[in-house]
């Protein structure tokens, strides 16, 4: 068998490996993207993609602090394949495939054999997007940040202008996916690039990097111009308000305890151990190593790990950064080929680490749908969501909200949807079930992308509350909204309208267990 493998030409092996990785990374994510949901996370960009596909844009038509890149690209997928759960999950699957193939490409460029590059990339494919299964900003911004690091280390290793040009474009789109962790990666790359060009000045590479920056800026400004997104709204929602949240998020990062930083992520650190060992060994041998490209490459990888750990701690989501273990292990494998004479035992260690850790995290976090808070649900009670609408066909409906009785949840939703669909008035929907507007083929005119007080929009005592409040009310007035429907439960806010609208301008009616209506009585919806 081994002799047969050796006899296959490398070009054929490469093509077969790429085809297999594409198929596996797509199929794995397609499977898990259908296994249960957590409404606030699973539908995060579903309705937003639908809105953009139909001419409603972030910052202009709905308030959002997460980047527009996913909204626009999901909209593109919806335009091509139609608006459905299949298309939605396919988006994440295709990006999972892209990330896997780029990882394979990088590992090959760093000298790994096709077999080992395939092995490490395969484990990336089962650990990356399948933890969510659906498009999600934290996941995608992390993958795009890592792709930016890939471009940076390739630029250093290969000294090819194309990588320097693509680098700011990749970082730009990553930033437009989510500000963090991209901001940390921008600082890492900028800092190391400055020192690199101090030691190895190359005007052509600098010019190409500058050209890439101009290309990204041009695309960004053109998009703003075409969509007529107010630049002030973009800065208020995407830059200034999130910055104001930074202090609160730091509370999740501190204290910097050994248990939280090192032990919780010990397998990530272990995958980087040999890279750190190489750096220390070479510096002690010759201080000139501090100027070498290998030093900058390894430091950027170590910095990336800590950037993602910091990001993980500052989010309020389940752990998802374990996909970095096969990446760091693979690059450690590549560097050990260069720096160690007796290296077989190291390779065995890295491979065993990758296989065992990947198997563990796959079982605990992916197969049990831990990121979606589904670890305690009984999947034998799941229901095909086509009962709600054919656009959700195949989705195995079970949520952490009704873990023992999904039939009850679906029945309540059907009742609420029937009421909403029957109402011909101009209406706004406030809900974590952000598929309802899609299946009733109606815009929800939601002033928010999603509902999570303090984290997604300002609370009443926040300095940006009045800015947000004015935006909210203006959207209601602009769209001539007559009634607001709130579908409960809302994960992050039970009293959406109470601080926004004048009590005298609203008439609340409880229609069902999960559905409330708020009739807007004032023509101009005045402020309190």
Going from the C-alpha of 502 to that of each of 383, 491, 517, the distances in angstroms are: 41, 24, 15
Domain that holds residue 429: 402-520
Whole-number pLDDT of residue 346? 92
Q: What is the Cα–Cα distance from 300 to 310, expressed in whole angstroms?
A: 15
Would you put residue 127 in left (φ > 0), alpha (ψ -120 to 50) or beta?
A: alpha
Whole-number pLDDT of residue 255? 62
Going from the C-alpha of 358 to that of each of 1, 33, 35, 123, the distances in angstroms are: 26, 19, 20, 6
Return the percentage of the chain with pLDDT > 70, whole number: 95
In a domain, 386, yes or no: no
Q: Is the confidence at residue 252, as pLDDT, over 60?
A: no
pLDDT per position as a tens digit, 115-145: 999 999 999 999 999 999 999 999 999 999 9
What average pLDDT does the segment 51-62 reach? 96
Q: How far apart are the first and last CA of the chain?
A: 77
What average pLDDT does the segment 388-393 reach? 96
pLDDT per position as a tens digit, 478-519: 999 999 999 998 887 767 888 888 888 889 999 999 999 999
Whole-number pLDDT of residue 4? 63
In a domain, 257, yes or no: yes
Among 235, 253, 103, 236, smallest CA distance to 181 is for 253
What average pLDDT does the segment 64-87 reach? 96
Same domain, 364 and 409: no
Among 499, 500, 504, smallest CA distance to 521 is for 504
Same domain, 114 and 216: yes
How many domains, in total, are found in the chain?
Answer: 2
Same domain, 348 and 432: no
Which residues are CB-neighbours of 325 under 8 A, at least 6 positions away? 123, 127, 267, 268, 271, 353, 354, 357, 358, 361
pLDDT per position as a tens digit, 341-367: 877 889 999 999 999 999 999 998 999
Whole-number pLDDT of residue 527? 46
Which residues are CB-neighbours of 363 under 8 A, at least 6 positions away? none
In a domain, 395, yes or no: no
**In the structure, what pLDDT confidence band is assigned to residue 203 with cuts at 50, 70 and 90?**
very high
More confident position, 333 or 2 = 333
Q: What is the Cα–Cα distance from 496 to 500, expressed in whole angstroms?
A: 7
pLDDT per position as a tens digit, 455-477: 788 988 889 999 999 999 999 99
Q: Is the confidence at residue 528, as pLDDT, over 50?
A: no
In a domain, 164, yes or no: yes
More confident position, 185 or 522 = 185
What integer best gives the mean pLDDT of the chain? 92
What average pLDDT does the segment 247-259 reach? 60
Residue 508, strand partner residues = 518
Whole-number pLDDT of residue 502? 82
Whole-number pLDDT of residue 248? 59
Same domain, 318 and 434: no
In a domain, 17, yes or no: no
End-of-domain residue from the set 372, 394, 419: 372
Same domain, 418 and 344: no
**In the structure, what pLDDT confidence band is assigned to residue 244 with cuts at 50, 70 and 90?**
confident
Same domain, 132 and 246: yes
Q: What is the pTM of this model?
A: 0.94
| C-beta of residue 26 within 8 angstroms of C-beta of residue 411 | no
Whole-number pLDDT of residue 495? 77
Q: Is the confidence at residue 374, as pLDDT, over 50?
A: yes
Same domain, 313 and 421: no
**In the structure, what pLDDT confidence band is assigned to residue 260 with cuts at 50, 70 and 90?**
confident
| C-beta of residue 315 within 8 angstroms of C-beta of residue 132 | no
What average pLDDT does the segment 301-324 reach? 90
What average pLDDT does the segment 168-188 reach? 96
Which residues are CB-neighbours of 89 under 8 A, at least 6 positions away? 29, 30, 33, 34, 133, 134
Same domain, 254 and 346: yes
The CB-side HSE value for 316 (13 A sphere, CA atoms) comes to 12
Same domain, 415 and 340: no
Same domain, 358 and 412: no
Return the percentage of the chain with pLDDT > 90, whole number: 79
Same domain, 332 and 455: no
In a domain, 397, yes or no: no
Sign of CA dihedral 427, 431, 437, 443: positive
Q: What is the Cα–Cα distance from 241 to 465, expressed in whole angstroms?
A: 10
More confident position, 254 or 61 = 61
Q: Token pair of 185, please?
A: 């990666």
Same domain, 344 and 472: no
End-of-domain residue from the set 372, 391, 424: 372
Whole-number pLDDT of residue 524? 61
The number of beta carbons lying within 10 Å of the beta carbon of residue 69 is 20
């Amino acid at each position: 068998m081994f002799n047969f493998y050796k006899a296959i030409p490398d070009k054929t092996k490469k093509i077969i490996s790429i085809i297999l990785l594409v198929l596996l990374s797509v199929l794995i994510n397609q499977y898990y993207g259908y296994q249960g949901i957590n409404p606030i996370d699973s539908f995060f960009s579903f309705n937003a993609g639908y809105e953009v596909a139909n001419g409603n844009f972030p910052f202009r038509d709905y308030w959002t602090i997460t980047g527009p890149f996913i909204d626009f690209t999901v909209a593109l997928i919806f335009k091509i394949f139609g608006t459905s759960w299949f298309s939605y999950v396919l988006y994440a699957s295709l990006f999972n495939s892209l990330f896997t193939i780029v990882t394979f490409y990088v590992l090959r460029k760093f000298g790994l054999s096709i077999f080992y590059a395939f092995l490490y990339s395969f484990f990336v494919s089962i650990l990356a997007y399948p933890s969510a299964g659906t498009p999600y900003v934290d996941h995608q911004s992390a993958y795009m940040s890592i792709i930016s690091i890939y471009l940076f280390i390739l630029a250093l290793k290969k000294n090819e202008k194309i990588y320097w040009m693509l680098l700011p474009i990749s970082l730009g789109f990553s930033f437009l996916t989510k500000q963090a962790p991209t901001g940390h990666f921008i600082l890492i790359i900028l800092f190391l690039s400055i020192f690199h060009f101090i030691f190895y000045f190359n005007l052509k590479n600098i010019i190409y990097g500058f050209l890439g920056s101009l290309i990204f800026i041009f695309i960004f400004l053109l998009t703003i111009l075409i969509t007529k997104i107010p630049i002030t709204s973009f800065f208020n929602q995407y830059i200034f308000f999130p910055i104001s949240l930074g202090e609160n998020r730091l509370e999740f990062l501190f204290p910097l305890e050994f248990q939280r930083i090192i032990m919780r992520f010990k397998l990530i650190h272990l995958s980087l151990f040999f890279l750190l060992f190489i750096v220390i060994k070479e510096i002690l041998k010759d201080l000139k190593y501090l100027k070498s490209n290998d030093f900058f490459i390894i430091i950027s990888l170590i910095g990336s790990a800590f950037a993602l750990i910091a990001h993980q701690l500052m989010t309020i989501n389940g752990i998802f950064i374990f996909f970095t273990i096969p990446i760091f292990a693979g690059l450690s494998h590549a560097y050990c080929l260069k720096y160690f004479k007796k290296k077989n035992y190291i390779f065995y260690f890295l491979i065993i680490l990758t296989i065992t850790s990947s198997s563990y995290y796959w079982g605990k976090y992916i197969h049990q749908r831990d990121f979606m808070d589904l670890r305690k649900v009984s999947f034998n009670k799941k229901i095909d969501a086509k009962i709600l609408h054919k656009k959700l066909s195949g989705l195995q409906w079970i949520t952490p909200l009704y873990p023992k009785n999904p039939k009850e949840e679906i029945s309540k939703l059907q009742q609420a949807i029937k009421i909403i669909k029957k109402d011909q008035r101009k209406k706004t929907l406030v809900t974590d079930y952000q598929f309802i507007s899609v299946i009733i083929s109606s815009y929800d005119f939601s002033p928010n992308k999603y509902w999570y007080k303090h984290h997604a929009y300002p609370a009443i005592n926040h300095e940006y509350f009045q800015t947000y409040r004015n935006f909210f009310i203006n959207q209601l007035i602009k769209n001539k909204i007559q009634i607001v429907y709130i579908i409960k439960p809302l994960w992050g806010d039970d009293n959406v309208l109470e601080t926004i609208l004048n009590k005298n301008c609203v008439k609340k009616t409880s229609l069902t267990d999960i559905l409330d209506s708020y009739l807007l009585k004032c023509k101009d919806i005045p402020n309190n």
